[in-house]
Amino acid sequence: MNPSMTPEERSRQIRKEALATFLLFLICLAWNVGFAYGLSGCPITVFHLPLWWVLSTPGVFVVAVAGVVFLLKKVFVNFEFEEEEEETEETL
């Protein structure tokens, strides 16, 4: 946790995380569509399923999970979004 982040740093980190997540989405989309349409005429089968299906549908799941693990370890930062208000105790 990094509580010493300024509002500008938090905003920059949020944009960085959103961009990285969007890029992972585009990679998964390209993987799924690329293998689905790119190998649609291929006669090879795996467990009686066409190769394009095996690589596009379960394959994109593996790519997505690996991408999320990468994002969590390298891109995302744990920080408080809202500023903490200083509490003052009044003594009576």
The answer as to whether 18 is a domain residue is yes
Distances (CA, A) of 86 to 47, 69, 83, 89: 62, 35, 9, 10
In a domain, 81, yes or no: no
Output the pLDDT for position 80.
83
**Domain limits for position 53:** 7-74
Counted domains in the chain:
1
- Where does the pLDDT of residue 85 fall: very low under 50, low under 70, confident under 90, or very high at 90 and above? low
Residue 87 confidence (pLDDT)? 46
What's the whole-number average pLDDT of the chain?
88
Question: Between the CA of residue 7 and those of 20, 22, 77, what are the distances in Å?
Answer: 20, 23, 14
Contact assessment for residue 42 and residue 50, using Cβ atoms and an 8 Å cutoff: yes
